[in-house]
Amino acid sequence: MTTSTILLIVVVAVAALLLIAAIAWVARNKRNQHCRVEAGKMRDRAEEQSHKVGQCEALAEETAAKARAAQAEADAKAAHAKGLQHQAHTRRSDAAAARDEVNQEFKRADKIDPDSQANDTLPEDSETSDRPRGAVGGEHGQRAMPRSG
Phi, psi of 139 (to 5 degrees): -65, -30
Residue 106 CB: number of other CB atoms within 10 A? 19
pLDDT in tens, 42-81: 999 999 999 999 999 999 999 999 999 999 999 999 999 9
Q: Is 116 exposed, middle or buried (0-12, 13-18, 19+ CB in 10 A)?
A: middle
Q: What is the pLDDT of residue 12?
A: 96
pTM: 0.46
**Is the CB of residue 138 less than 8 Å from the CB of residue 144?**
no
- Of the candidates 107, 114, 94, the residue with the CA atom closest to the CA atom of residue 134: 107
Top pLDDT among 26 and 115 is at 26
pLDDT band, very low/low/confident/very high, at 133 (cuts 50, 70, 90): low
Give the residue extent of every domain in the chain: 8-108
pLDDT band, very low/low/confident/very high, at 118 (cuts 50, 70, 90): low
Q: Element (H or E) spanning 141, and its range?
A: none
Q: What is the pLDDT of residue 116?
A: 77
Q: What angle do CA 14, 15, 21 make, to 5 degrees?
A: 90
Q: What is the pLDDT of residue 142?
A: 43
Q: What is the pLDDT of residue 117?
A: 78
